[in-house]
């Protein structure tokens, strides 16, 4: 448990930094949106491009692990989407809720946690899970959000308008261009690589600070229904997703024990900041997402420790 705490402690520190900056007046009421726009338009696209452009096809081609981790994400995402829409949520809001329940924090928490618990052999699967989560799952959610927003406006030619909205979205364009770069086999020039590392490195810290800014500016006292929804989404992320992933990776696919352990460990990670960035950027209900990110991060210390105790047996 101490290892888990030491890894997630910087996350709490960055959220607290944003909270203090807002409460102290160092950053004003518009800071949340502006910091978030910095992440969406500059830092995160640079990170997505860098991840895809520097990945090696031979390194990321692990079909068994890909199927297990993707299936776990897809089942939880799809089930949450159905549940939230059945409850009357709009498609855009339901898509963000589905991200809350399936978007693992593989980048910020996954790499150091897997490295400390699994070792170097877990780095390739962690990279794969990061690409699947940050690029593929994120892209699916953006497509649904854009489609939902267009349908809410009751305009004609929804498909055309959605397509052009997606074509201008840097969070989709960046990984696609990065993938083309990877497939071309052309290495990134050293100055460009350094630029992407510097800019992309600001994505997670700025997103966490933006979350702290938002929490400091939001009103206290959530409704009972929203608190219950937060609890269900956190439960889906921390318990249901790793359980589903274990069933697929172990009993169904019969992957090697190390691959099963790594897949479950990555699926058990708390919700990353991606859903919050989208909720804030699109002007949806960011308060629910903020609570899920914070609560899942805190509770993951206990749930991951419990899984490690069970796995050790």
Q: Which residues pair with 104 in a beta bridge?
A: 271
Are 77 and 102 in contact, with CB atoms under 8 Å apart? yes
The pLDDT value given to residue 156: 53
Paired tokens of 271: 């919700």
CB 268 within 8 Å of CB 79: no
Any residues with CB less than 8 A from the CB of 161 and at least 6 apart, and which?
150, 155
CA of 28: how far to CAs of 17, 19, 24, 106, 309, in Å? 14, 11, 9, 31, 44
Within 10 A of 220 (CB to CB), how many other CB atoms are there?
5
Phi, psi (degrees; rounded to nearest 5) at 311 = -65, -30
Number of domains in the chain: 1
Q: What is the rounded distance in angstroms from the CA atom of residue 177 to the CA atom of residue 50? A: 10
Distance CA 50, CA 197 (A): 7
Instruction: Give, for all 313 residues of the chain, the pLDDT tens digit.
Output: 666 667 677 877 888 898 899 888 888 888 888 888 888 788 888 887 888 788 777 777 889 999 999 999 999 999 999 999 998 888 989 999 999 999 998 877 787 788 778 887 787 888 888 888 887 888 888 888 888 877 555 555 555 665 666 666 777 788 888 888 888 888 888 899 899 989 988 877 887 888 788 778 765 545 555 788 899 999 999 999 999 999 999 999 999 999 999 999 999 998 988 888 888 888 887 888 888 988 888 888 889 888 888 887 5
Q: Which residues pair with 271 in a beta bridge?
A: 104
- Whose structure tokens read 């090696």? 56
How many C-alpha atoms does 158 have within 13 Å on its Cβ side? 13
Predicted pLDDT at 5: 67
- Please give the structure tokens belonging to residue 73: 């994400």
The pLDDT of residue 98 is 95
pLDDT at site 166 = 62
Q: What is the pLDDT of residue 167?
A: 67
CA angle centred on 164, ends 159 and 169, rounded to 5°: 120
Tokens of residue 244, six digits:
């589903």
The first and second tokens of residue 126, run together, are: 């962690």
Q: Quote the pLDDT of residue 162.
A: 56
The C-alpha atoms of residue 198 and residue 209 are separated, in whole angstroms, by 17
The pTM of the full predicted model, rounded to 2 decimals, is: 0.80
What domain range includes position 165?
A: 2-312
* CATH number of the CATH domain containing 155: 1.20.1530
Matching residue, tokens 């520190």: 13
Residue 305: predicted pLDDT? 86
User: What is residue 151's predicted lDDT score, i.e. its pLDDT?
Assistant: 58
| pLDDT confidence of residue 165 | 62
pLDDT score at 66? 93
Length of the chain: 313
Helices and strands of the chain, counted as H and E runs: 18, 0
pLDDT of residue 75: 96
């Amino acid at each position: 448990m101490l290892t888990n705490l030491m890894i997630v402690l910087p996350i709490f520190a960055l959220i607290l930094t944003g909270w203090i900056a807002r409460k102290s007046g160092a950053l004003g009421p518009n800071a949340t949106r502006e910091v978030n726009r910095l992440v969406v338009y500059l830092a995160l696209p640079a990170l997505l491009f860098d991840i895809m452009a520097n990945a090696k096809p031979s390194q990321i081609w692990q079909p068994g692990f890909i199927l297990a981790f993707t299936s776990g994400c897809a089942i939880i995402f799809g089930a949450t989407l159905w549940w939230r829409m059945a409850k009357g949520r709009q498609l855009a809001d339901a898509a963000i809720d589905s991200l809350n329940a399936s978007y693992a924090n593989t980048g910020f928490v996954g790499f150091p946690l897997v490295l400390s618990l699994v070792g170097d052999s877990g780095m390739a699967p962690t990279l794969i899970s990061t690409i699947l989560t940050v690029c593929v799952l994120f892209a699916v959610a953006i497509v649904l959000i854009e489609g939902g927003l267009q349908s809410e406006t009751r305009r004609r030619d929804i498909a055309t308008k959605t397509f052009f909205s997606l074509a201008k979205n840097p969070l989709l364009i960046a990984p696609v261009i990065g993938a083309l770069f990877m497939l071309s086999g052309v290495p990134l020039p050293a100055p460009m690589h350094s630029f992407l590392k510097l800019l992309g490195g600001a994505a997670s810290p700025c997103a966490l600070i933006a979350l702290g800014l938002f929490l400091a500016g939001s009103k206290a006292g959530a409704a009972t229904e929203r608190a219950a929804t937060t609890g269900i989404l956190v439960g889906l992320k921390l318990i249901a997703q790793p359980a589903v992933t274990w069933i697929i990776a172990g009993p169904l696919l019969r992957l090697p024990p190390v691959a099963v352990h790594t897949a479950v460990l990555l699926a058990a990670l708390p919700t990353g900041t991606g859903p919050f960035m989208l909720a804030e950027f699109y002007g949806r209900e960011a308060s629910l997402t903020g609570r899920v990110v914070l609560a899942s991060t805190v509770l993951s210390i206990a749930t991951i420790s419990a899984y490690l105790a069970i796995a050790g047996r």
